[in-house]
């Protein structure tokens, strides 16, 4: 029997900043001349991103009005890891709590006391006692709730959290797992003209997502996604093309322009590996929930798997409105899939991908579940059997 994922809640900081504003901040911070600034603005235009969210208001303000970065022409002294982690510790819990409350509003009958496991996910900040313990206290969860932290795995980490939740539910039919992903990527702006940093600065935003996983469909008529299968792929040649390191002035993301080519090389094998033992073919898939690591990544997957832009509409919508929020992003995409599903699509397959350091490629096959529609189908089948 499958486990079920649903009631996906999301939250973003209050500062919603237009992509052109962020480009101007970056051009000024990097002291770019007219030619380099023009190229930077072009890079930001082709990302497919219109707005991103940040816990820092500075990206939408002129120098002289910053609250985190120094109000100096060169932003010196540049904020240290300690200063960035202080902001993470202050901002992560409220954002995570908001996402959880948004999740549980969708299933009013689920009480906090019924949560048996909490899995927290983040690669943009760590401390101890950590977010997991703070969530127990802030939400009034049971003190004996089982806590697991998935840290520093990058954009694919939410898939590993879902795998953990699925294992918990398969081991215990009464398990009810709360997954909470919170990423404050914009804390880690790097003042560097290197291509990797320019690309990272152009893509990442802040956000949180929370969802429930349990051994049966969610209550209160909430639609959910049955977890059918998982598959992991690794492209070791991409070891240096997507990476995440802690340095003196924040966490440094390596995200080279070669990443789409690595995904192009491995995405078909990843898909075949996922589906090879299942009664589902790629042509049967009705919905796609692909982590929008960047516009080029989405376009590459479309080309390799024969998808249309419309097939990828959920990913493009999230990319446009939020940017890449690391591990939380694929949960935003899955929420969009659920929100636009209908009872008529009960049983429809959903194919999901996420990517991260390594280069790691994760795949999930899920299935849309609308309990009312499923009950109606079962009732009709029973009536037909009785007639026969």
Residues carrying an active site annotation: 155
Structural tokens at position 267: 């995405």
Q: What does 221-271 look like in DSSP terms, one character per residue?
A: T--EEEEEEEEEEE-GGGTTTEEEEEETTEEEEEE-TTHHHHHHHHHHHHH
The CA dihedral of 376, 382, 383, 387, to the nearest 10 degrees, is 160
Q: What does 269-287 look like in DSSP terms, one character per residue?
A: HHHHHHHTTSS--GGG--E
| Rounded Cα distance, 162 and 4, in Å | 10
Structural tokens at position 276: 């090879």
Residue 150 near residue 322, CB atoms below 8 Å: no
| Rounded Cα distance, 111 and 138, in Å | 14
Structural tokens at position 88: 């993470």
Residue 249 near residue 77, CB atoms below 8 Å: no
| Rounded Cα distance, 41 and 151, in Å | 33
| Rounded Cα distance, 148 and 161, in Å | 9
Residue 337 near residue 330, CB atoms below 8 Å: no
Cβ-count burial 118-153 (b if 16+ within 10 Å, e if not): bbbbbbbbbeeebbbbbbbeebebeeebebbbbebb
Q: What does 153-173 look like in DSSP terms, one character per residue?
A: -GGGHHHHHHHHHHHHHHH-T
| Rounded Cα distance, 102 and 104, in Å | 6
| Rounded Cα distance, 23 and 40, in Å | 7
């Amino acid at each position: 029997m499958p486990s079920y994922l649903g009631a996906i809640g999301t939250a973003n900081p209050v500062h919603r900043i237009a992509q052109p504003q962020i480009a101007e901040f970056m051009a000024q911070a990097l002291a770019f001349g007219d030619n380099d600034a023009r190229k930077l603005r072009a890079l930001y235009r082709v990302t497919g991103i219109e707005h991103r969210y940040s816990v820092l208001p500075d990206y939408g303000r002129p120098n002289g009005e910053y609250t985190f970065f120094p109000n100096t022409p060169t932003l010196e002294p540049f904020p240290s890891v300690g200063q960035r982690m202080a902001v993470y510790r202050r901002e992560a819990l409220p954002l995570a709590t908001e996402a959880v409350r948004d999740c549980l509003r969708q299933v009013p009958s689920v009480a906090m006391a019924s949560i048996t496991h909490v899995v927290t996910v983040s690669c943009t900040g760590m401390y101890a006692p950590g977010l997991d313990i703070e969530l127990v206290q802030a939400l009034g969860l049971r003190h004996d709730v089982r806590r697991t932290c998935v840290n520093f795995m990058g954009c694919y980490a939410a898939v590993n959290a879902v795998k953990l939740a699925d294992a918990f539910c398969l081991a215990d039919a009464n398990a009810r797992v709360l997954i909470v992903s919170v990423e404050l990527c914009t804390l880690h702006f790097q003042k560097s003209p290197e291509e990797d940093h320019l690309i990272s600065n152009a893509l990442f935003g802040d956000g949180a997502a929370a969802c429930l996983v349990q051994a049966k469909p969610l209550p209160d008529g909430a639609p959910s996604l049955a977890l059918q299968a998982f598959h992991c792929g690794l492209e070791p040649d991409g070891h240096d093309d997507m990476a995440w390191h802690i340095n003196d002035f924040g966490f440094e993301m390596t995200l080279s322009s070669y990443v789409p080519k690595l995904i192009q090389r491995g995405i078909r094998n990843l898909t075949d590996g996922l589906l090879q033992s299942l009664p589902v073919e790629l042509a049967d898939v009705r919905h796609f929930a692909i982590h929008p690591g960047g516009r080029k990544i989405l376009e590459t997957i479309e080309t390799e798997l024969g998808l249309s832009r419309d097939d990828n509409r959920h990913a493009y919508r999230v990319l446009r409105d939020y940017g890449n929020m690391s591990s939380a992003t694929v949960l935003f995409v899955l929420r969009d899939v659920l929100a636009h599903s209908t009872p008529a699509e009960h049983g429809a397959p959903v194919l999901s991908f996420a990517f991260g350091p390594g280069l790691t490629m994760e795949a999930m096959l899920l299935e849309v579940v609308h309990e009312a529609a499923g009950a109606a189908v079962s009732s009709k089948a029973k009536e037909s059997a009785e007639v026969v």
